[in-house]
Amino acid sequence: MSNKRLEGKTIVIVGGTTGLGLSAAKAIICEGGRVVVVGRNKESAMQAEVDLLALSHEQGNDYDARTVHCISATAVVGDAMDVETTRRAIAEAVRIGGQLNGLYHVAGGSGRRYGDGALHEVTDDGIDFTLGLNLKSMIISNREAVIQFRKQGGCGAIVNMGSVLGYSPSAKYFATHVYAATKSAIIGFTKSIAAYYAGEDIRCNVIAPALVETPMAKRAAEDDVIIDFIKSKQPLDGGRIGLASDLDEAVVFMLSDGAKYMTGQVIAIDGGWSVSEGQIPQRVMAVDEKGVCCEK
pLDDT at 70 over 80: no
pLDDT tens digits, residue range 238-268?
Answer: 999 999 999 999 999 999 999 999 999 999 9
Instruction: Tell me what pLDDT residue 220 has.
Output: 79
242 DSSP 8-state letter: B
Tell me the C-alpha to C-alpha distance, in Å, between residue 256 and each of 77, 187, 276: 26, 20, 30
Instruction: Tell me what pLDDT residue 124 has.
Output: 98
pLDDT at 226 over 50: yes
- Cα torsion angle, 164, 169, 174, 179, sign: positive
pLDDT tens digits, residue range 165-186?
Answer: 999 999 888 999 999 999 999 9
Length of the chain: 296
Q: What is the average per-residue pLDDT within 69-91?
A: 93
pLDDT at 131 over 90: yes
pLDDT at 145 over 90: yes
Tell me the C-alpha to C-alpha distance, in Å, between residue 24 and each of 28, 45, 166, 241: 6, 15, 22, 18
Model confidence at 28, pLDDT cuts 50, 70, 90, reads very high
pLDDT at 283 over 60: no
Q: What is the average per-residue pLDDT within 97-117?
A: 96
Any residues with CB less than 8 A from the CB of 200 and at least 6 apart, and which? 149, 150, 154, 155
Give me the architecture of the 10-213+244-270 domain, per CATH.
3-Layer(aba) Sandwich (3.40)
Between 278 and 232, the more confident residue is 232
Q: What is the average per-residue pLDDT within 161-168?
A: 97
| Span of 161-175, 195-209, 243-257, 279-293 with lowest mean pLDDT | 279-293
The CA distance from 204 to 194, in Å, is: 5
Instruction: Tell me what pLDDT residue 68 has.
Output: 46
34-39 and 73-77 beta bridge pairing: parallel
